[in-house]
Chains A and B, each alone.
Chain A
């Protein structure tokens, strides 16, 4: 990490959302070499080094992870060598997602923070998947306790957006899209309301049977149930906090792994914008 922070200007970009014009074209040119991966590039656009990790099927998971790390470090050192002498930098870390799990988005929605882990013997097994669930203002409106009701159902479309919390895989090909969920429900129950603050219990259930990139040779299934607590400001009609804990399983080609997820958000304003 120090090797990166002290020497390079690091940038992470989604190739599907990279514009064709302007400064994005600088980065699009790299895709002519290879569709994705890691590059060290001079500000003039000269590639100094590149790596792309493709798991080797003859190696196990740990061996592949080690190779990935080793190759990346070698690529960084090659890039550094090709760049010549550089004065170490003191870049200020800026949170690229200041509204992740905190405050409201610019368009009045929420960006719920999610973490998912595989579980073995009740404990985290392997690296987590870190992601978000974006609920817009319409999703948000459905959290408000309806007049004269103590129990209600959150719309299916809102519940299904929790699909990112259903697998520990970091590669999006293993994540079901909302449309791939056969079940996605969240029910809300008002526990009490005092001083304009309502405490609401959330109960959720999700089930997605789908194929990896639509290929029937690679069947996947993500299944989970969850319990949550929503604290809601009934006067302002806005949520104050939301926390959900999910437990379930992820079945990859018949190999089932228990999972746990945490979905969370608080209204406190982000400290960085």
Chain B
């Protein structure tokens, strides 16, 4: 009996969570539209590289590991951002 009640309580909780996190029908419909024009996963492969965006952290890591840095410098147009996006 106790086990059954626990199971029911779990199911009720899962149902509640499911309802709370469910997308609206409008959002679900738009997700399908977005999926059609979202870039392919292969386009994000470069995100698997362990990039740093903080100069001090990168330099410390290179010194600690005694290995070279790969430095990507971009900019020159007085814009915020990062080379990993646009700057």
Contacts and interface: CB of A to CB of B under 8 A. Distances in A.
Contact of B86 (A7, A15, A16, A131): A131
A262 interface: yes
Interface stretch (A55-63, A135-143, A144-152, A164-172): A164-172
B60 to A, nearest CB: 8
Interface string A59-89: 0000000000000000010011001001001
Given A130-B85, A245-B34, A12 B67 contact: no
A164 B79 CA distance: 12
B1 interface: no
Nearest to B37: A260
Contacts, number: 222
Interface range, B side? 35 or more
Contact of A213 (B45, B77, B86): B77
B6 interface: no
Given A26-B59, A83-B67, A17 B80 contact: yes
B37 A243 contact: no
A260 B67 CA distance: 41
A15 B26 contact: no
Interface residues of A, number: 79
Given A43-B69, A245-B37, A11 B27 contact: no
B37 A262 contact: yes
B53 interface: yes
Nearest to A128: B39
A36 B69 CA distance: 15
B30 interface: yes
Interface in B29-81: 30-31, 33-34, 36-40, 43-56, 58-59, 61-63, 65-81
A39 B70 contact: yes
A187 interface: no
B73 A30 contact: yes
B80 A5 contact: no
Contact of B84 (A9, A96, A115, A229): A96
Given A4-B49, A43-B67, A12 B84 contact: yes
B79 A172 contact: yes
